[in-house]
Structure 1
Amino acid sequence: MTISRMLAQMTVSDSARSIPWYSLLFGRGPDAHPMDGLVEWYLADTFGVQVWVEPERAGTSSMVLDDDDLDARVQLLDDAGIENGGIGPASSFRILPVVDPDGNKIVFVESGASGA
């Protein structure tokens, strides 16, 4: 048995508000809408993000995404009007925290020269 794909799931209260927000976050619309209440962004061949509407659990998700250029990412977020915590240090890497409209936490991470 081999696991070959991973999708992080962010639980939200309202797709009409969340899909545009995540589209701004990722710089494009979703790649798939497999069923009512679920949209997906494929960020690479083997991983992606699901945004799932389940109001009673909304705001309890978190994910960490490695990013090779946090300076460009913060500029993209700023240009899109997405509030963020700014780039900060965390041992041998830098982080960029973001919170979606439901309170879900997304942290972009950029490894330092020594790797994280």
Structure 2
Amino acid sequence: MAITRMLAQATVTDLEQAVSWYTRLFGREPDARPMDGLVEWHLAATFGVQVWAEPDRAGRGTIVLDEADLGTRAAELDRAGIEHDGPEQATSSRILRLADPDGNRIVFTG
């Protein structure tokens, strides 16, 4: 068996609120709505992010995304009105942490 695609998932309480927030995060509307309660952003040919409405499990996820330029990403987040504390030094790299409206962590690393 060969795994050829990966989708990270954030579980949320209010799908339309989350779609608005993730649309600002990624700078574009979702690429797919494969079923009720699920939206997807295809970030490359073989990976992406799903946002799934399941209130009982909402807010407990973490998505880590590699980013070439954290300073540029921070500026884009500022323009999109997404709160963050800016890039910070971690043990082996720099990271930029933020949270969606349900508290799911999004961590850009670079």
TM-score, structure 1 as length reference:
0.93
Deviation string, structure 1 residues 80-113 (Cα, Å, up to 9, x no partner): 1000121100123110001000000010000xxx
**Secondary structure at the counterpart of residue 19 of structure 2:** helix
2:108 corresponds to 1:108: yes
In the TM superposition, what is the alpha-carbon distance from 1:46 to its structure 2 partner?
Answer: 0.5
Where does residue 43 of structure 1 map in the other structure?
43
In the alignment, the residues of structure 1 paired with residue 26 and residue 107 of structure 2 have an alpha-carbon distance, to the nearest angstrom, of 13
In the TM superposition, what is the alpha-carbon distance from 1:39 to its structure 2 partner?
Answer: 0.2
Q: Return the letter of the residue paired with 2:94.
A: R
Provide the aligned C-alpha RMSD in A. Answer: 0.6
User: What is the percent sequence identity of the aligned residues?
Assistant: 61
* Long gaps (5+) in structure 1: 111-116
The alignment of Structure 1 onto Structure 2 pairs a total of residues equal to 110
Where does residue 12 of structure 2 map in the other structure?
12
Mapping of 1:1-116 within 5 angstroms? Answer: 1-110=1-110
**Secondary structure at the counterpart of residue 76 of structure 1:** helix
In the alignment, the residues of structure 2 paired with residue 8 and residue 51 of structure 1 have an alpha-carbon distance, to the nearest angstrom, of 9
